[in-house]
Structure formats: structure tokens, C-alpha cells
Amino acid sequence: MTTLIEPETTSAPPIHERNAWEWIKHNLFPNWWSGLVTIVLLPILLYMAYRALRFFFVTGQWEAVEVNLALFMQGTFPRDEQWRLIAQILTFALAFGIGAGTASASARDRAEDASLAHERGSLTDTLKRMWSMIAFIVLLLVFATTHDPGSPISPFLVVFGAVLAGYVGYQARRLPRRLRNLGWLLTLVLLVVGFQVVSGFDSGGWLPLGIILGSAAYSVVPVERFESRWLRLLVRLAAAAVVVLVIRAVYGAIDSTGIGWDEWSGLHLTLLVSAIAIVLAFPLGLLLALARRSTLPALRYMSTVYIEVIRGVPLITLLFMGQFIIGFMVPAGTELSDVTRAIVAMTAFAAAYIAEIVRGGLQALPSGQTEAGQALGLAPPTIMRRIVLPQALRAVIPAMVGQFISLFKDSSLLFIIGIVEFLGVRRIIHAQEAFRGVGIAETLVFVALGYWAFAFAMSRESQRLERRLRVSR
């Protein structure tokens, strides 16, 4: 409505208030043929809108979604273990809150250092970015209200708890500056804990927290009083080892088993599997991109072959190969679940694309940047880490997020290899006696809305990131 082209004037453009009639005349009937198009298209569009609204509110048989809402969300996840999912939602909400609060605070710190004005992101901005997800959650609550899914804890309480946990976590922005790293550490730890609340704190699950807290111990242990460099390193390593051993002992002591991802399904599986694949594919893709530009021929050729082979194969083929071929590549007796195989295939697939995206960013960077670093006498890894990668990655954020969104949507292919993810729940529902052939369009629309809500939020988040990092400058 505000994108009118104003006539160019030398003075400041006058603010011209249009009334509705003028707006219609200017936009819909500027000349005779545009008017004709309007006259033809407008009734068609209005009729389609009418049909769509009628479908949503009058004719749509939404019972298929209402009754099976829990099935869409968590699939066949054991209902008596449902507290694990609720605990996971709350822990993740807290982790995201702390992460957002810490990120906001460090942006403020940076602005202070550069003595720039810092504009704090407002709640409205956040809501604008997240509105699709909020709308989806509201839709879920509406469906949950119209049909009680028999959940022991009301979905409203869960949503309220998650918002509260996120808000409490966000208060991390008030922490003093020296505790900033603690905020990041807490975010990571909570993400791992939130994951393991469902998958179980069994004795083998110490590794992720061991790595995170071990590296933290390695970097924070006070070593200034030691003169010798080797002694310092030794003390750091010892601190890390102690922490790792303690964590290992704690896990060994708890050794409580949970529900592994083989038994996850529905939207829960879709979100977690996509997140895991994205998190794993990014570093792998980065390494592949660097390897492809490496001066070592062996590394370069291996990376090139990998990227070109994977990019030449459709994802669904990789998924099928994962189901039927990975078994021959691992040592006999190793049991890999279908979900693990699918994650491996999705990661391998996405990494090849990310590698090419990152390579594009690396190539776009003028060689002067590297040369300047060399002229300053910086070591090659430092040049890569401090000069090249930050600029290269910043330039490719849109393409990268596009790849992540596409990976998220591609997770629906798992349905074809028999994993019951969000889309696959539909097949189960329409085998139920009550919904055989009933509500087919409705469940499809619901699933589409679900995917859209998350994909759109990701896209808005990437736009914000672009703005903040001024990609387009």
C-alpha cells in the first residue's frame, strides 16, 4: 500500500494521504486494460478466497486432525513417558531464552566498545519474526480445545511454561559482562540436557557434555601463575580431564535409560532430526569447502569427488542407500537404527551443498583480504578464522539458510523409507477406521501449515541476521 511511486520533485516529497477510493483507482484501475484485468481477476480471487475460508470454517472435516493431534505431535512416542517431552520443551525454551538474552547482551557490549548507540530488539520485532510459529501454536491450542487429546497436562500449561522459561532465560542479558561466556555455556549444556531428557542419561551419554564442559574447563582454569608454557598446557589438560572424568562418573551413577530416537515420531522427530542434521552438516560442509580449496591435492580431490558424487544423487536415493547399504559398510554386528541411517544420509547430502555454498563465499572474497593478512604476518589459520571466514560466511547466509530450510522440508522424505515423521502420520491416520478417506485434504493442509510455520520463521530469522550483519552493504 505504501509502495507507490511518487513523482520526482526537487523538494522533499510531500506526504500524500490517499483515501481508499484513490488507492483503488490508482492501483486497480490506472488505465483501461489494467481495469479489465482487475474486473476479470477480482471475482475469481474473491471466489477462491471465499471457497478457502468456507473450507477452513464450514466444510472442512477437521476431526481427523483434532482427534489425532497428539499423534501428529509425538507419533507413537510412549504416552506414559510423555513427561520427557514436556521436560524437553521447557528445557529447550530455557536454553533458547538464555541464548537470546546472551546474544542480545553481547551485541550491546560490542556497541558499547565501539561507542555506538545500541538499539535493543523489541518484543514486537520478535513477534513479527515468529508470527507464523505463534499462529501455528495457537492453531494447535484451538484444536486441542475443540477436542481433548487426553493429555495428562493441559497443552496450555505447557505453552505457558515454555514462554515463562524463555522469559526467565532471557533475563541472562542482565548478567554482568564477565559472565557472558557462562551464558553461552549454559545454553549449550541445556540443549544437551534437553535432548537427553528424552533419550536418557545412560552411562554412554556422557560424551557431548564431556566435550562441552571439558573444553570450558580447559579454557577457564587459571594458569597465569605458571611460568612454563608446558606446565600451563599440562594444568589445562588436567583440569579438562578431571571434569570429563567427573561427568563420566556422574552419568555412570545416574545411568537412567530413556526413549531413543528410534521410537520418536511425528513433528517431534521431524524437528529434532532436521536440527541434528543441520548442526552436523554445517561443520562438515565447512571442512569440505576448505578442503576443496586446499593446496594439498589429495584433500582437494577427495573433497571434490565427494561433493560431486553426493550432489549428483537425489536425496531419496541416498536415504534408500542408507537403509540398505550402510549396513554393509559398518563392522558386522553394529546395529544402526533407521533414524540414525537417515540422519547420516541427510547430513552427508546437506554437507555437500553447504560446501559449495561456502566455497562460493570464499571465492567471492577479494584475494587482497588474505594478502593483507599475510602482510601483517598473521598465521594462515588466523587469517582464515579472523579475516576470510567471517566475511565469506556472512556473504552466504541467505543461501545457507535456504539450504537449511530445504533440508528441514526434505525430512518429509523419511516417510517413504517408513519412518513416521510429521507427514507420515497422515498415512497412519487415514488407516484408522474413523478417518479412512475422511479429511484427507484437511490433514494435508494442517501438515503444510506446520512445515510453513517453521520454514517461514527460519526465513525471517535469516533476514534479521542479514540485516544485523549488513550482508547487503
Site for another protein (CB under 8 A): which residue of 253, 305, 364, 379?
379
Q: Does 6 bind another protein (CB under 8 A)?
A: no
CB atoms within 10 A of CB 287: 15
Interacting stretch for another protein, rule CB under 8 A, among 29-37, 85-93, 198-206, 364-372?
198-206
- Note whether 440 and 58 are within 8 A (CB): no
Site for another protein (CB under 8 A): which residue of 140, 239, 342, 343?
343
The C-alpha atoms of residue 399 and residue 401 are separated, in whole angstroms, by 6
Q: Does 208 bind another protein (CB under 8 A)?
A: yes
**Closest by Cα among 163, 186, 194, 203 to 84:** 194
Q: Does 280 bind another protein (CB under 8 A)?
A: yes
Q: Does 390 bind another protein (CB under 8 A)?
A: no
Give the angle 219-221-226 at the CA atoms, nearest 5°. 110
CB of 71 to another protein, least distance (A): 6
DSSP code string of 59-77 = I--THHHHHTHHHHHHTT-
Give the angle 223-224-230 at the CA atoms, nearest 5°. 60
For the segment 439-468, give every residue that binds another protein (CB under 8 A): 440
CB of 332 to another protein, least distance (A): 6
Q: What is the DSSP-derived secondary structure letter of residue 115?
A: T
Distance of CA 138 to the CA centre of its chain: 20
Residue 237-266 contact track with another protein, rule CB under 8 A, x = bound: --------------------xxxxxxx---
Q: Does 293 bind another protein (CB under 8 A)?
A: no
Site for another protein (CB under 8 A): which residue of 417, 423, 457, 458?
417
CB of 266 to another protein, least distance (A): 9
Please tell me the number of Cα atoms within 13 Å of 357 on its side-chain side. Answer: 23
**Closest by Cα among 212, 226, 348, 333 to 280:** 348
The C-alpha atoms of residue 329 and residue 434 are separated, in whole angstroms, by 44
Residue 61-100 contact track with another protein, rule CB under 8 A, x = bound: ------xx-xx--xxxxxx---------------------
**Closest by Cα among 416, 401, 405 to 452:** 405
Q: What is the DSSP-derived secondary structure letter of residue 331?
A: P
CB of 259 to another protein, least distance (A): 7
Site for another protein (CB under 8 A): which residue of 35, 283, 314, 390?
283
Residues contacting residue 386 through CB under 8 Å, at least 6 positions apart: 373, 378
CB of 68 to another protein, least distance (A): 5
Nearer Cβ to another protein (338/466): 338
Q: Does 427 bind another protein (CB under 8 A)?
A: yes
Site for another protein (CB under 8 A): which residue of 99, 183, 194, 205?
205
Q: Which amino acid is at 135?
A: A
Distance of CA 10 to the CA centre of its chain: 47
By the criterion CB under 8 A, which residues form the site for another protein? 67-68, 70-71, 74-79, 149-150, 199-200, 202-205, 207-208, 211, 257-263, 276, 280, 283-284, 287, 323-324, 327, 332-333, 335-338, 340, 343, 379-381, 416-418, 420, 426-428, 430-433, 436-438, 440
